[in-house]
């Protein structure tokens, strides 16, 4: 069973190539605000995240995901429900 | 798993939407074996709903809704995720004499507050007696509906608790409403387009008989949202009213995995699909090298293109990239329409593909006329042939004084006909602004006609006028998009009032570049391209990503960008700009 920290670390690795200009990437980095991902890049990222963690991210969680940490917590929840 | 998608071939004769009401249309479709199929993001079929089952289930649900004993034509708000439940509720309303109102779902990250606000404004506008949200959206609906007077709301399962009415159902009749649609209008002032049964049936018949010319063997695929006119009327109601099987992929699933669109088209040998130019472009960008030949798009005979101004470049790129899959460029079907006309107004002839009219840029700017270019070295503008009016529509192109203009003169498109809306729901003022007492709809769109063909050139309110010359914002934005740092959708152009009555041209461009020297260089490049190509000076302003304003339907809004710009700039500094303009 992966811990939140494991998921966060893997998530940061997944995001890094998509946001090459980000100098610091942490739990609190905002995906759209700080990283400047547009809505299409966000969709691309979600696809990579789904494939990497083998989860399906429900559409209704998106409005409450702002930061990298928010997304890691959601993935943790989804994995925990299995 | 193991479920089989509904077949393409049907057991009953094809009827092309020649029914009086949507309920009658489904009654007939239910006699055959076709239906709709729902696919997840990985391309797996997760639910099959034959039109026969849809009818049975919609009628059961209609009895429960009727049990609430609401006045006829009471509104039923439906959060329109791409699910079988949405279609069941939509048709349950038809049988129960209630009016469905499809409402949007949120796609953006962190949009919780904005979404709830948007939903609440729409609920306040349509005043529903019933509201339904898919299980996973009920919390948003609950928040948005707080304090509003709604008789019954919840997830689809919650409706099973309702006691069915014992009396016979009275479906919506042809002079009653079919649905309300919230597509146009701002977030703060949404406008619910009222479409009657006879109105939508007229448009569906036009689409099926003259636009797409449906025939046995047709099958549709769609990833368009059910709360949009093209998704709802074009790809959900048209298939039901013509007994065509349809395969659905969620909009977000498409955005995440656009190639699933092509996979689904291939798998079921679908013949019809529609999208905005942007959808085709996204798909092409995500295509992997050498992958095209794995798809089989040879059956795709109608690749509809609408909803945005059509630029041919990316569509041609799509056709080239997918030629190995058997995609033919002639399959592109440009069309023009809007929710206020149910959906469709014009269609290009089938198999014509993208036919463009090249007009002299200078004549267009100075005289507002679309004169064909004779000398190929002359600067030109390209407009796509959007085709002919569907039968029943009348067209008038009017100049600024309200006089009808002749062929090849740009003016505002006015339409009249049996597919035109009855008005905006409970908004007489807004209705009277666009709909005249004798039935003419002012679309606000600019265009010209040549013979029986319509060409769309832009939106009236967005036009920039500099020294008496008409400047099309799309042209300025296009030049900005050509810079490597700028992507389509990253630039908005508009005019702001200058001191001498003429407009100052402004281009707001969003970009991620932070280096001052590089920013200055980008601004300089754009400005000089605009100067050399269009011949006007323009103020280029760089803004952070995701700050360009959008309308409620997600389209970039030039008018909001213009308002923001005016509000945030002190116009006493105009002099320095004046000097710059003189350079």
* Cβ–Cβ under 8 Å, residues B389 and B345: yes
CB-nearest partner of B109 from A40, A47, A66: A66
Task: Give the pLDDT of residue A18.
Answer: 78
Q: Both tokens of residue B235?
A: 């790809």
Do β-strands B75-79 and B130-132 pair in parallel, antiparallel, or remain unpaired? parallel
Which comes out higher in pLDDT, residue A61 or B471?
A61
Mean pLDDT of A6-17: 90
Mean predicted confidence (pLDDT) in B480-501: 84
Strands B152-154 and B130-132: parallel
CATH number of A4-80: 1.10.1200.10
| Residue of A31, A58, A65 lying closest to B136 (CB–CB) | A58
Q: What is the CATH number of domain B463-582?
A: 3.30.300.30
Check residue B530 and give its pLDDT: 81
Find all residues with CB under 8 Å of A19, minimum gap 6, and list them.
A25, A35, A36, A37
Residues with Cβ within 8 Å of B207's Cβ and at least 6 positions away in sequence, in order, are B17, B233, B234, B238, B343, B344, B347, B390
> Which string of DSSP letters, residue by residue, matches B269-328?
T--EEEE-HHHHHHHHHHPPTT-GGGS--TT--EEEE-SS---HHHHHHHHHHTGGGT--
- Give the pLDDT of residue B194: 98
Instruction: Note whether B211 and B238 are within 8 A (CB).
Output: no
Return the bridge partners of B571, or none: none
Mean pLDDT, all residues of chain A: 85
pLDDT of A68 > 70? The answer is: yes
Do residues B197 and B117 make contact, with C-beta atoms less than 8 angstroms apart?
no
- Does the distance separating the beta carbons of B41 and A62 come in below 8 Å? no
Domain range summary for chain A, segments of one domain joined by +: 4-80
Sorted by sequence, the CB contacts under 8 Å of residue B508 that are 6+ apart come out as B491, B492, B493, B541, B543, B548, B561, B565
Distance CA B191, CA B199 (A): 18
The more confident residue out of B185 and B70 is: B70
Q: Collect all residues from B whose CB is shorter than 8 A from any CB in A.
A: 40-41, 81, 105-112, 115, 136-137, 140, 250, 252, 255-257, 282, 487, 489, 512, 544-546
Of B285-294, B409-418, B546-555, minimum mean pLDDT range: B546-555
In this structure, are residues B273 and B266 in contact, taking their beta carbons and an 8 Å threshold?
no
**Is the model's pLDDT at B580 over the cut of 60?**
no
Q: Give the per-residue pLDDT at B537.
A: 79
> Which of A58, A60, A63 is facing B110, going by the closest CB pair?
A63
Of B62-66, B324-328, B364-368, B509-513, which gets the smallest average pLDDT?
A: B364-368
pLDDT over 60 at B564, yes or no: yes
Whether the pLDDT of residue B478 is over 90: the answer is no
Minimal Cα distance from B141: which residue of A?
A: A60
pTM for the structure as a whole:
0.83
| Cβ contact, residue pair A64, B252, below 8 Å | no
Q: Considering only the beta carbons, identify the residue of B252, B257, B487 that sits closest to A59.
A: B252
Which chain A residues are closer than 8 Å to B256 by Cβ? Answer: 43-44, 46-47, 50
Going from the C-alpha of B396 to that of each of B55, B229, B478, the distances in angstroms are 41, 23, 29
Say what the pLDDT of residue B245 is: 98
For the residues of B150-161, what is the DSSP string, one character each? -SEEE-GGGGGG
Question: Does residue B460 surpass a pLDDT of 60?
Answer: no
Residues B254-290: pLDDT tens digits?
A: 989 999 999 999 999 999 999 988 889 889 988 998 9
Q: Are A66 and A31 in contact (CB under 8 A)?
A: yes
Query: What count of other Cβ atoms lies within 10 Å of the Cβ of residue B316?
Result: 15
CB hemisphere CA count around A45 (13 angstroms): 25
Range B22-185+218-250 classified under CATH 3.40.50.12780: yes
Q: Is the pLDDT of residue B497 over 80?
A: no
Give residue-wise pLDDT tens across range B236-259. Answer: 999 999 999 999 999 999 989 999
DSSP secondary structure letter of residue B47: E
Cα–Cα distance between B52 and B36 in angstroms, integer?
11
| pLDDT at res. B166 | 87
What are the extents of the domains in chain B? 22-185+218-250, 355-461, 463-582
Interchain pair A36, B512: CB under 8 A: yes
Q: Mean pLDDT over residues B452-474, rounded? A: 75
| pLDDT band at residue A19 under the 50/70/90 scheme | confident
Higher-pLDDT residue of A28 and B261 is B261
Average pLDDT, chain B: 90
Q: What is the pLDDT of residues B103-139, one digit of tens each?
A: 998 877 877 887 898 899 999 999 999 999 999 999 9
Q: How far is CA B477 from the centre of its chain?
A: 20
Gap between the Cα atoms of B220 and B214, Å rounded = 10
Question: What's the pLDDT tens digit per position in B145-158?
Answer: 999 999 999 999 99
Highest mean pLDDT of the ranges B202-211, B270-279, B451-460: B202-211
Domain covering B355-461: architecture = Roll (2.30)
Given this model, what pLDDT does residue B583 score?
24
Contact A62 B137 (CB under 8 A): no
- Residue B249 and residue A40 in contact, taking contact as beta carbons nearer than 8 Å: no
Residue B120 CA to residue B87 CA, distance in Å, equals 23
Confidence check: pLDDT of B30 > 70: yes
pLDDT band for B313, please (50, 70, 90 cuts): confident
Q: What is the pLDDT at residue B579?
A: 29
Residue whose entry in the numeric block shows the structure tokens 């470049």: B313
> Running DSSP on this structure, what letter comes out for residue A63?
G
The per-residue pLDDT for A24 is 80
Is residue B505 within 8 Å of B464, Cβ to Cβ? yes
Q: Give the pLDDT of residue B405.
A: 96
**% residues pLDDT > 70 (chain B):** 92
pLDDT band at B294 (very low <50, low <70, confident <90, very high): very high
Q: Give the count of beta carbons closer than 10 Å to the beta carbon of residue B277.
A: 23
Q: What is the pLDDT of residues B7-24, one digit of tens each?
A: 999 999 999 999 999 999
CA distance B468 to B365: 8
């Amino acid at each position: 069973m992966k811990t939140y920290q494991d998921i966060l670390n893997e998530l940061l690795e997944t995001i890094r190539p998509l946001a090459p200009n980000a100098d610091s990437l942490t739990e609190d980095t905002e995906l759209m605000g700080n990283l400047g991902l547009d809505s299409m890049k966000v969709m691309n990222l979600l696809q990579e995240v789904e494939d990497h963690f083998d989860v399906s991210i429900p559409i209704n969680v998106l409005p409450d995901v702002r930061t990298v940490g928010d997304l890691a917590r959601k993935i943790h929840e989804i994995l925990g429900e299995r | 798993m193991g479920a089989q998608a509904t077949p393409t071939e049907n057991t009953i004769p094809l009827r092309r939407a020649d029914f009086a009401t949507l309920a009658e249309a489904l009654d007939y479709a239910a006699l055959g074996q076709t239906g709709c199929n729902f696919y997840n993001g990985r391309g797996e079929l997760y639910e099959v709903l034959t039109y026969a089952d849809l009818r049975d289930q919609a009628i059961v649900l209609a009895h429960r809704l009727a049990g609430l004993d609401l006045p006829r034509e009471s509104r039923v708000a439906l959060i329109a995720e791409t699910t079988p439940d949405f279609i069941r509720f939509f048709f349950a309303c038809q049988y129960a004499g209630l009016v469905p109102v499809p409402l949007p779902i949120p796609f953006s990250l962190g949009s919780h507050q904005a979404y709830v606000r948007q939903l609440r404004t729409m609920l306040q506008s349509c005043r529903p007696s019933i509201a339904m949200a898919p299980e996973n959206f009920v919390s948003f609906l609950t928040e948005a509906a707080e304090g509003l007077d709604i008789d019954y709301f919840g997830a689809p399962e919650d409706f099973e608790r309702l006691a069915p009415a014992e009396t016979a159902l009275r479906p919506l009749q042809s002079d009653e409403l079919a649905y309300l649609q919230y597509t146009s209008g701002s977030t703060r002032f949404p406008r619910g387009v009222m479409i009657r049964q006879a109105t939508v049936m007229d448009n569906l018949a036009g689409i099926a008989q003259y636009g797409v010319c449906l025939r046995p063997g047709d099958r549709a695929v769609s990833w368009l949202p059910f709360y949009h006119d093209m998704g709802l009327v074009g790809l959900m109601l048209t298939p039901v009213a013509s007994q065509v099987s349809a395969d659905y992929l969620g909009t977000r699933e498409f955005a995440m995995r656009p190639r699933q669109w092509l996979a689904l088209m291939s798998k079921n040998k679908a013949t019809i699909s529609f999208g905005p130019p942007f959808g085709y472009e996204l798909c092409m960008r995500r295509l992997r090298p050498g992958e095209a030949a794995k798809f089989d798009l040879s059956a795709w005979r109608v690749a509809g293109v609408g909803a945005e101004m059509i630029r041919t470049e990316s569509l041609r790129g799509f056709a080239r990239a997918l030629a190995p899959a058997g995609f033919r460029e002639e399959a592109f079907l440009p069309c023009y329409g809007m929710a206020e006309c149910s959906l469709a107004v014009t269609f290009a002839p089938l198999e014509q593909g993208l036919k463009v009219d090249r007009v002299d840029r200078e004549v267009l700017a100075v005289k507002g006329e679309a004169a064909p270019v004779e000398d190929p070295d002359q600067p030109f503008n390209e407009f796509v042939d959007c085709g002919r009016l569907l039968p029943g529509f009348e067209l008038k192109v009017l100049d600024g004084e309200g006089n009808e203009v002749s062929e090849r003169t740009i003016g505002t498109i006015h339409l009249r006909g049996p597919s035109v809306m009855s008005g905006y729901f409970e908004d007489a003022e807004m209705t009277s602004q666009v709909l005249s007492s004798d039935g003419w709809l002012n679309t606000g769109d600019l265009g010209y006609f040549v013979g029986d063909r319509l060409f769309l050139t832009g939106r009236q309110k967005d036009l920039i006028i500099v020294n008496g010359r008409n400047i099309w914002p799309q042209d300025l934005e296009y030049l900005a998009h050509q810079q490597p740092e700028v992507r389509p959708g990253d630039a908005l152009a508009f005019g702001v009032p200058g001191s001498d009555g003429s407009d100052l041209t402004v281009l707001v461009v969003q970009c991620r570049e932070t280096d001052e020297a590089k920013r200055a260089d980008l601004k300089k490049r754009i400005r000089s391209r605009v100067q050399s190509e269009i011949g006007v000076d323009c103020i280029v302003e760089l803004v952070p990503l995701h700050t360009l304003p959008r309308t409620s339907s997600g389209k970039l809004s030039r008018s909001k960008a213009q308002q923001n710009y005016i509000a945030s700039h002190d116009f006493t500094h105009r002099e320095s700009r004046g000097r710059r303009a003189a350079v």
